[in-house]
């Protein structure tokens, strides 16, 4: 019976992850090489990936769909271990939403060593810029000074992403919204340091890239319970709501490749983060700390065009 229950919980979690096909996740995968877009040129592409975070996966596994359905159907809910597990799962998911990701983007070369881009990722708007400090700045058709096969490029970037509505819309815990009234808004700043080696002249055949990335998340969240109470012997008291702000750093490493020829490329990538999310206030005057690893595998298709 124990193994049947464990198997059922794992199967339910797997179905949850498969079902979150439009997860609202700030894109933190690093897919760029160290060479920026040349002036007057455009890059456009699509990217498919997944946000696999150990902390929210563990928290979601602590509560079953049956328990959520039972809580949601009650006219009056008393604070217990299952409700506490649900609040932790909601918050952990907001800190690092789990599920498949999809985005499309457009980049433009502003100057010989500077480009900028816009990305739309399942409701999340992302803006970034990248500065190249190492390597030539030309194109395969018009190589820059020092261009050669196997030359190294280096750059540093800055990305901003903001998301609020819809963070938990696709999560099965949204059934508890009438009870918990959970809200969350987050902003992410991402700074990647990228080094890449060219395949062919000016990345004509692509590149291999690696580096380190720093991310800082600012989050504001709250609970405004509607039908949630606590018992003190024969007395019953309503659970008060709360609103709290916090921020936390994430540190990561990445590797990616750019494979193709001149105008069209395939972009496989893997980014790994570690983060100590910190301590967070929960209902009923409790606090909890979160930490864990996040793996972001992705694969994309990119086209280059322009003068």
Q: Where are the alpha helices (DSSP H) in 120-203?
A: 177-180
d(CA 36, CA 155): 8
- What is the model's pLDDT at position 3? 42
- What is the model's pLDDT at position 104? 94
Residue 19 has pLDDT above 60, yes or no: no
Q: What is the pLDDT of residues 216-275, one digit of tens each?
A: 999 999 999 878 888 877 788 888 899 999 999 999 999 999 999 989 999 999 999 999
State which residues form the domain around 161.
Answer: 2-306
- What is the model's pLDDT at position 10? 46
* Sheet order of strands, 228-232 included: 77-78, 228-232, 235-238
Instruction: Indicate the average pLDDT of the chain.
Output: 87
127 C-beta neighbours (distance < 10 Å), count:
13
- The 3-state DSSP class for residue 40 equals coil
The DSSP output letter for 262 is T
Task: Pick the closest to residue 209 from 251, 254, 248 (CA basis).
Answer: 254
- Tell me, what CATH number does 116's domain have? 2.40.128
Confidence label for 165 from pLDDT (cuts 50, 70 and 90): low
- What is the model's pLDDT at position 166? 62
Residue 24 has pLDDT above 70, yes or no: no
21 C-beta neighbours (distance < 10 Å), count:
12
Report the pLDDT averaged over residues 153-180: 82
**Contact indicator for 6, 272 with CB cutoff of 8 Å:** no
Rg (CA), the chain: 23
- What is the model's pLDDT at position 22? 47
Q: How many residues does the chain have?
A: 307
Residue 107 has pLDDT above 80, yes or no: yes
**Distances in Å between the alpha carbon of 283 and those of 69, 83, 192, 221, 266?**
20, 10, 36, 12, 47
d(CA 101, CA 138): 32
Which tokens in the block code for residue 86?
A: 């649900």
Residue 21 has pLDDT above 50, yes or no: no
Which tokens in the block code for residue 111?
A: 């100057």
- What is the model's pLDDT at position 23? 52
Q: What is the pLDDT of residues 46-69, one digit of tens each?
A: 999 999 999 999 988 888 787 888
- What is the model's pLDDT at position 8? 41
Which tokens in the block code for residue 74?
A: 């009650």
**Distances in Å between the alpha carbon of 50 and those of 108, 153, 178?**
26, 27, 29
65 C-beta neighbours (distance < 10 Å), count:
14
d(CA 295, CA 293): 7
Lowest-pLDDT range of 145-149, 218-222, 301-305: 145-149
**Contact indicator for 261, 25 with CB cutoff of 8 Å:** no
- What is the model's pLDDT at position 216? 97
Residues in a beta bridge with 261: 264
Number of domains in the chain: 1
Report the pLDDT averaged over residues 159-167: 79
d(CA 246, CA 289): 12
Comparing 23 with 202, the larger pLDDT belongs to 202
Residues in a beta bridge with 45: 105, 302
- The 3-state DSSP class for residue 88 equals helix
Residue 122 has pLDDT above 80, yes or no: no
Comparing 297 with 237, the larger pLDDT belongs to 297
- What is the model's pLDDT at position 222? 93
- What is the model's pLDDT at position 299? 96
Residue 12 has pLDDT above 80, yes or no: no
pTM of the model: 0.87
Which tokens in the block code for residue 209?
A: 């890239």
- The fraction of the chain above a pLDDT of 90, given in percent, is 55
- What is the model's pLDDT at position 16? 43
- What is the model's pLDDT at position 256? 98
Residue 108 has pLDDT above 70, yes or no: yes
If you average pLDDT over each of 8-12, 70-74, 99-103, 287-291, which comes out highest?
287-291
**Contact indicator for 186, 141 with CB cutoff of 8 Å:** no
- What is the model's pLDDT at position 13? 44
Report the pLDDT averaged over residues 193-205: 95
């Amino acid at each position: 019976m124990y193994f049947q229950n464990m198997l059922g919980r794992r199967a339910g979690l797997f179905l949850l992850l498969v079902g979150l096909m439009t997860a609202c996740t700030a894109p933190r995968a690093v897919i760029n090489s160290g060479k920026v877009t040349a002036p007057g040129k455009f890059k456009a592409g699509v990217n498919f990936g997944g946000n696999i975070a150990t902390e929210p996966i563990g928290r979601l596994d602590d509560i079953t769909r049956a328990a959520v359905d039972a809580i949601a159907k009650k006219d009056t809910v008393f604070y217990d271990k299952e409700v506490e597990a649900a609040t932790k799962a909601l918050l952990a998911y907001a800190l690092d939403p789990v599920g498949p990701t999809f985005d499309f983007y457009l980049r433009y070369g502003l100057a010989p060593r500077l480009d900028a881009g816009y990305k739309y990722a399942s409701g999340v708007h992302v803006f970034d810029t990248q500065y190249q400090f190492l390597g030539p700045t030309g194109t395969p058709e018009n190589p820059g000074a020092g261009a050669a096969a196997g030359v190294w490029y280096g750059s540093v970037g800055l990305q901003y992403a903001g998301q609020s509505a819809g963070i938990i819309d696709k999560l099965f815990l949204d059934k508890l919204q009438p009870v918990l009234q959970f809200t969350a808004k987050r902003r992410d700043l991402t700074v990647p340091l990228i080094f890449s080696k060219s395949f062919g002249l000016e990345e004509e055949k692509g590149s291999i890239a690696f580096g380190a990335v720093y991310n800082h998340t600012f989050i504001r969240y709250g609970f405004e319970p509607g039908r949630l109470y606590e018992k003190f012997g024969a007395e019953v008291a309503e659970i008060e709501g709360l609103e709290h702000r916090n921020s936390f750093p994430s540190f990561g490493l990445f590797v990616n490749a750019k494979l193709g020829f001149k105008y069209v490329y395939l972009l496989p990538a893997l980014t790994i983060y570690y983060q100590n999310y910190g301590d967070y206030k929960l209902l009923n005057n409790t606090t909890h700390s979160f930490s864990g690893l996040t793996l972001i595998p992705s694969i994309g298709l990119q086209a280059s065009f322009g003068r």
